[in-house]
Amino acid sequence: MKTFAQAIDLIDDPDRIATYERYHTQIWPEVTRGLRALGIERMHIWRTGNRLFMTFEAPDDFNPDRDYQTYTENARCREWDELMRSYQRRIPSVTNTDDGWWTPMDLVFDLEAQHS
């Protein structure tokens, strides 16, 4: 399994941020099934201000650019994705030149990889 990290911003409006968080307390079951069908076993999203930081674990051959959005082949998952995008905006980044919505992040440090 590989761990992926990505970031995105929410539209900077406290009411919209609160609504976005409420949606994530009761994610639609089709969405969780769709993500698990992709092989995603764990996913966490953190927030500070209007910045979101997401990590997820997926199979070694998983390619977020190629594989992630395939869960939207399900109409209910596509509806969720479009709804969530209405709360989000790409982060300003010179490295985000691809067509991805979330900005991928590079691993800088891994404590487990350090040997004493």
Burial class for 46, CB neighbours closer than 10 Å (0-12, 13-18, 19+): exposed
**49-99 pLDDT tens trace:** 999 999 999 999 999 888 988 999 999 999 999 999 999 999 987 555 556
More confident residue, 18 or 63: 18
Structural domains in the chain plus CATH codes: 2-99 (3.30.70.1090)
Per-residue pLDDT at 86: 97
Distance CA 25, CA 71 (A): 20
The pTM score is 0.86
Per-residue pLDDT at 65: 84
